[in-house]
Amino acid sequence: QKEVEQDPGPLSVPEGAIVSLNCTYSNSAFQYFMWYRQYSRKGPELLMYTYSSGNKEDGRFTAQVDKSSKYISLFIRDSQPSDSATYLCAMSPPSGGSNYKLTFGKGTLLTVNP
């Protein structure tokens, strides 16, 4: 079983739709949960991060973590064509020692149609 599972999509939605992206994981040691966005022919860039469980909101984006279910989500409200990209979830254990490595999901390709 892979440590992080993410549905690769592709996901195509109309402009203005609410988008839900999800990842599941198996390593209970993960404490930091991140979402990266990768535009075509670019490197990933950090979109949001959450420590442990709970929700975090930033504008149109909301990240949720449910550690009991080992499940994380990213919601995009009022999606825009500029949101079209691949979204990768990433996770890491607590800091310290050699624990600075991120484990990534496969990424979900999202297209928002005008």
Which residues are near other proteins by CB under 8 A? 2, 4, 8, 32, 34, 41-46, 49, 88, 90, 92, 94-95, 98, 100-107
CA-angle at 71, arms to 68 and 75, nearest 5°? 130
Beta carbon of residue 65, minimum distance to other proteins (angstroms, whole number): 13
Query: In angstroms, what is the minimal distance from the CB of 93 to other proteins?
Result: 9
Least separation in angstroms between CB 41 and other proteins? 8
Instruction: Report how far apart, in Å, the C-alpha atoms of 44 and of each of 4, 23, 39 are.
Output: 17, 17, 7
Rank residues 51 and 71 by Cβ distance to other proteins and give the closer one. Answer: 51
| Amino acid (one-letter) located at 25 | Y
Whichever of 32 and 75 has its CB closer to other proteins, that residue is 32
C-alpha atoms less than 13 angstroms from C-alpha of 33 in its C-beta half-sphere: 28
Question: What are the structure tokens assigned to 107, written together?
Answer: 């990424």
Q: In the bound complex, what is the minimum distance in angstroms from residue 39's beta carbon to other proteins?
A: 10
**Nearest Cα residue to 91 out of 7, 3, 2, 1:** 3
13 vs 102, which CB is nearer to other proteins? 102
